[in-house]
Structure 1
């Protein structure tokens, strides 16, 4: 079985990566982590807490980014230690990967950086499990080259995350066939429900999205078969500092999870 921090994954059920898009403040991150831990305990899900310390590819130069790698990883590391949760966050450079690996259980490579060889090598050398977001510009079979790089650098514990493909301007579409094809290649696959409904740059200076569709696509992905599901959630998406239109309101996430577990049971029971 795979291990993420103190979480030994049961492959008979998908695990869930949940949390806000951005690490808006230390108090906010703690509030979200505690709330999601309670929900995870009630629903019985396998849970990894997520928040980003730096939104490095925002549409506008004026957009909020976050506290940065050292402060952000300190906060996430303390949350993980005190609450007994594995934590994950994005890294953007080889130097950040080395810093994050000291406190972060599960490193994540953003979609736009998924082919950056130096970054993949640095992540692999940390010894941490790794999640690589599939670029919006890649075909499912193209990820075999990403897998080949990671294996070349000695990393065997990694996941590929589907998060939609560019479909014209300011639009993404998810091809559910990619989930099957990538798993059929022997890869472990995560589905990112909330970034798959983005409309990149769709609001001019910010990214738009169709958050109402995130649970819909998540149900389809779970029915198709995935190893994990990634969903961003927020106390009040309308006031989120980043990606508000795509995030699922915190007061709705438990019902979404219960339904996803039911879909998984129905689709994959013997």
Structure 2
């Protein structure tokens, strides 16, 4: 489990899944701390190990005018402050090899975006930092093929790997989740996570703004826990409609505690 990789994480219920959650992008210090505080209170109450998620920069945007970030160093320092303030690990995306060492100075987990999961130099650079590496499965790849991404990190001398499923491309403007992939990826002896929000994206819309189906987040999460996911990835915000990135598929923060409570009951039933 993730606790093996991050000794600083709170050791909650050994039967619980762990949670990666937070805003899609770091929008500012106040909102990041407010979201983290709310989620820490919830996960402490429910005894769920928690990792704060926030992208310091969004590199994959449909339109050139879309929000990409508030500045790399500024956003990374906010992630660092979140981790220090609440005593929790943090995770952020990296996009190019030279970003690995930079981001690793501020966060505990480096995330490889799905579109970049085959980029050998990026995977090796992340591995070389010694940080935990969370690799998102490409929408265009089978679960079986992700063993090669895991091997690239491990062969670079880093065994701290997580795999995250975020759905598969279904036509031009939709994604679908194949839950057979979770046990397949678990067979590689790494923690396996379900991204419950990005898997509901509707990309490539004619407007240039990605759509989503947030009303199905609970469905995706329940099924993931039922088939044995070790962790869940959920982007959440107190005002998704006005979030600067991916608001169309984020969970409203007010709904997080109720959802996690239901999921713990499912986890208990299937353990």
TM-score (norm 1): 0.96
Moved more, 76-85 or 11-20: 11-20
Alignment match, 2:61: 58
* Counterpart Cα distance in 2 of 1:133 and 1:141: 13
Alignment match, 1:258: 261
Shift of 1:8: 5.6
* Counterpart Cα distance in 2 of 1:85 and 1:203: 39
Shift of 1:157: 0.8
- 1:170-227 deviations in Å (ceiling 9; x for gaps): 1000000100111123232111000000001235211000011111111000010011
Matched ranges for 1:117-266 at <5 A: 117-202=120-205, 204-266=207-269
Alignment match, 1:7: 9
8 Å Cα contact 1:69-1:99 kept in structure 2? no
8 Å Cα contact 2:137-2:164 kept in structure 1? yes
Is it true that 1:84 corresponds to 2:87 in the alignment? yes
Aligned CA RMSD, in angstroms, stands at 1.3
* Counterpart Cα distance in 2 of 1:204 and 1:41: 40
> Which secondary structure does the structure 1 equivalent of 2:55 belong to?
coil
Hey, which bits of structure 1, 4+ residues long, moved more than 4 A?
A: 8-11
Shift of 1:94: 1.6
Moved more, 230-239 or 35-44: 35-44
Shift of 1:5: 5.8
> Which secondary structure does the structure 2 equivalent of 1:7 belong to?
coil
* Counterpart Cα distance in 2 of 1:203 and 1:247: 20
8 Å Cα contact 2:104-2:131 kept in structure 1? yes
- 1:91-134 deviations in Å (ceiling 9; x for gaps): 11122110111120111111011111111111001001110000
* Counterpart Cα distance in 1 of 2:195 and 2:88: 20
| Equivalent residues, number | 268
8 Å Cα contact 1:4-1:106 kept in structure 2? no
Consecutive unaligned residues in structure 2, runs of 5 or more:
none
Alignment match, 2:78: 75
Shift of 1:153: 0.6
TM-score (norm 2): 0.95
